Structure 1
Amino acid sequence: MRTLDFYFDYRSPYTFLALSQLRQMHVEIVFRPFEIRALMKLVGNVPTSITCASKGRYVQSDQQRWSIHYGVPLNRHPQASELDVSRLLRATLVAGQLGAMPAAVKAIFKAFWSTPAPLATATEVAALLGAEGLDAKALESRMDDPAAHVLLEEATAEAAARGVFGSPTMFVGDEMFFGNDRLDFVRDRLARAA
Structure 2
Amino acid sequence: MTRTIDFYFDFISPFSYLAQLKLPEIARKTGCDLEYWPIDIPEAKIAAGNYGPSNREVAPKIKVMMADLNRWARKYDIPLRFPASFTCSDWNCATLYAREQGKAKAFVAAAYNRIWGQGIDPSDREELRACAKEAGLDPDGLITFVDSPLGQNEYRKVRSQAYKRGVFGAPLMFVDDEVFWGNDRLDFLEEYLSRQK
TM-score (norm 1): 0.89
Specify every segment of 5 or more residues in structure 2 that has no aligned partner in the other structure, as ranges.
Answer: none
SS in 2 for 1:23: helix
> Within 5 Å, which residues of 2 pair with 1:45-194?
45=50, 46-77=52-83, 79-81=84-86, 84-117=87-120, 119-194=122-197
Q: Give aligned-pair identity as a percent.
A: 34
Aligned letter for 1:37?
P
Aligned positions, number: 191
Specify every segment of 5 or more residues in structure 1 that has no aligned partner in the other structure, as ranges.
Answer: none
Residue 91 of structure 1 contacts residue 143 of structure 1 at CA under 8 Å; is this kept in 2? Answer: yes
Give the aligned CA root-mean-square deviation in angstroms: 1.9
- Of 31, 36, 39, the residue aligned with 1:34 is 39
Separation in 2 of the partners of 1:87 and 1:121? 10
Residue 123 of structure 1 contacts residue 140 of structure 1 at CA under 8 Å; is this kept in 2? Answer: no
Residue 2 of structure 1 contacts residue 190 of structure 1 at CA under 8 Å; is this kept in 2? Answer: no
Residue by residue over 1:102-143, the C-alpha shift from the partner in whole angstroms, topping out at 9 and shown as x without a partner, is 221111111111134564343431232123211112112121
TM-score (norm 2): 0.88
Separation in 2 of the partners of 1:64 and 1:110? 15
Query: Bigger CA drift: 4-13 or 32-41?
Result: 32-41
Aligned pair in 2 of structure 1 residues 119, 48: CA closer, same or farther (>3 Å)? closer
SS in 1 for 2:102: coil
Separation in 1 of the partners of 2:174 and 2:118? 28
Deviation >4 Å, runs of 4+: none
